[in-house]
Amino acid sequence: MTRDPNALEELVRVSGVRSVPVVTCGNDVLVGYDPARLQSIVNCARQHSEVES
């Protein structure tokens, strides 16, 4: 983020914070480390479509 001002701008636009990690999936935004919430977001995404390898 310190080397890419555009990335920092997008981070703040998407999450509203200047903190990492930030994970987005559809309309879900996860800020910080929360393994249970991350798994919930992944499970929800899998129900909507399969991720291709």
* pLDDT per position as a tens digit, 9-49: 999 999 999 988 999 888 889 999 999 999 998 888 888 76
Mean pLDDT of all residues in 4-11 = 92
| Alpha-helical regions (H) of 1-53 | 5-15, 35-48
pLDDT for 53: 47
5: Cβ–Cβ under 8 A, 6 or more apart, which residues? none
pLDDT for 46: 85
13 occurs within a structural domain: yes
pTM above 0.85, yes or no: no
53 occurs within a structural domain: no
| Residues of the domain holding 34 | 5-48
pLDDT for 52: 55
Q: Specify the number of domains making up the chain.
A: 1
32 occurs within a structural domain: yes
